[in-house]
Amino acid sequence: MFKNYFKIAIAVLKRRKFFTFVSLFGISFTLTILIVLAAFIDNLIGAGYPDTARDRELYVNNISLRSTKNPSDINGGPSFYFLDHYVSPLKIPQKLAIASGNSHTSSYTNEKKLVIDLKYTNDQFWEVLQFRFIEGKPYAKQEVDNGEKVAVISEETRDNYFGKGVSVAGKYIETDNVRYRVIGVVQNVSVMQLFAHADIYVPYTLSKENFHNTDISGGYNGIILLRSRADIPGMKEEYSRMAAKVPLNSKIFDVLYTSADTYLEWFARNMIDDHTGSAGLGTFFALTGIFLFLFLLLPTLNLVNMNISRIIERSSEIGVRKAFGASSRTLVYQFIIENLILTFIGNAIGILFSFIAIQALNSSDLIDNLHLSINVNVLIFSLLLSLIFGLLSGVYPAWRMSSMQVVEALKAQ
């Protein structure tokens, strides 16, 4: 029976070429946008080079100070002092990577100006994040403690400053009038890796800011590496107990909000601008679901209207088939299958267009070192959307078809 439905569906789609073209264009265009968007999100929140252990990591990058007496607040990242003095001594973490946000610096080579993103880090930064070294090695604790002017640079920075493929270990790079001895070159990191991306990495002890300052808010981030995912609940509890004991300047602030988040929790917090942790993942997923629903609603309604018009055009066919004993259930199944076939064809075209669009984005210079891909998760997501799209746009027209009386259907033509 399904084979007959399939043959009829293909014949109908071939017969109404304009309707098929318009429908396929709408479906494939919508799915192309969704698949590319899903690839962006997957690249942004999924584990990837060099942050490959996100399933057992927690991120500390939120310090929110409030006052119950005055309308004062500070929202930002933790200071180096907070991470080193309060987070580092905790018992559960295996390692703690500490890194600043990127500072834009300027370098000059061959009468050409280079804008270089510089990041200050501790030595454990290189143990938590798994960088691929093309040449040399990372700086160690001794070099950090001694304040040695050493640097690890990206492959792109090496090519732009020294020349493509040149061996640079032991050479010097100057940025913002400071000369650093290059001890390592790492594979380029995508800007989508927000905590790991930089052009040049140097020890935090070289920072112009006083990292001994006892303020708890500042411009640093922390990544806590755990032994396994099973340690996450315990780590969150230990972190909360520690945060409750942090002394505050009660004359100004008397409430501290801070948390150790999974990457998805951190991402959701920033997307909904939640500094206190009161909203959480539920709000983020609800807003995302509403966005997807509204995004799919317009093409779905358009396809529903086109399907209803198609039903009116086929009313005589429906009337004749009903007169010869076709049941309403048979007609409903046939129409839904027709619609699902249409949406799955549109999905296949959408995947093809998405692949072309992703390759174009990867090869463009719009986002540095971008490496989007259509992986298994994205494909499952697109197929699920196709099923939902086909059902949403086909159920109501199918019900309208099944409810038509024989005489009414024959007269409508």
Section 21-40 average pLDDT = 80
Looking at the fold, whether 206 and 79 belong to one and the same domain comes out as yes
Looking at the fold, whether 298 and 205 belong to one and the same domain comes out as no
Instruction: With respect to residue 270, please indicate whether it lies within any of the assigned structural domains.
Output: no
Instruction: With respect to residue 185, please indicate whether it lies within any of the assigned structural domains.
Output: yes
Distance between terminal CA atoms of the chain? 27
Instruction: With respect to residue 278, please indicate whether it lies within any of the assigned structural domains.
Output: no
Q: Is 233 exposed, middle or buried (0-12, 13-18, 19+ CB in 10 A)?
A: exposed
Looking at the fold, whether 175 and 149 belong to one and the same domain comes out as yes
Q: Where among 229, 260, 291 does a domain terminate?
A: 260
From CA 58, how far away is CA 285, in angstroms rounded? 20
Instruction: With respect to residue 269, please indicate whether it lies within any of the assigned structural domains.
Output: no
pLDDT digits (tens, 9 = 90+) for 373-389: 777 766 777 677 667 76
Q: Of 101-105, 156-160, 405-409, which gets the smallest average pLDDT?
A: 405-409
> How many domains does one find in the chain?
2
pLDDT of residue 405: 56
pLDDT of residue 204: 96
Between residues 196 and 290, the one the model is more confident about = 196
pLDDT tops 80 at residue 81: yes
Q: Write the CB contacts of 305 (distance below 8 Å, at least 6 apart in sequence).
A: none
Instruction: With respect to residue 266, please indicate whether it lies within any of the assigned structural domains.
Output: no
From CA 24, how far away is CA 347, in angstroms rounded? 9
Note the residue count of the chain. 413
What is the pLDDT of the chain when averaged over all its residues? 82
Section 14-34 average pLDDT = 76
Looking at the fold, whether 93 and 220 belong to one and the same domain comes out as yes
pLDDT digits (tens, 9 = 90+) for 116-167: 999 999 999 999 999 999 999 999 999 999 999 999 999 999 999 999 989 9
pLDDT of residue 64: 87
Section 347-363 average pLDDT = 85
Task: Judge if pTM exceeds 0.85.
Answer: no
Section 245-264 average pLDDT = 85
Q: Of 167-176, 285-294, 324-333, which gets the smallest average pLDDT?
A: 324-333
Looking at the fold, whether 148 and 249 belong to one and the same domain comes out as yes
Instruction: With respect to residue 276, please indicate whether it lies within any of the assigned structural domains.
Output: no
CA 332 remoteness from chain centre = 39
pLDDT tops 50 at residue 409: no
Which residues span the domain enclosing 79?
Answer: 63-260
Token duo for residue 37? 């968007």
Instruction: With respect to residue 319, please indicate whether it lies within any of the assigned structural domains.
Output: yes
Section 85-112 average pLDDT = 92
Q: Of 13-22, 145-154, 170-179, 286-295, which gets the smallest average pLDDT?
A: 13-22
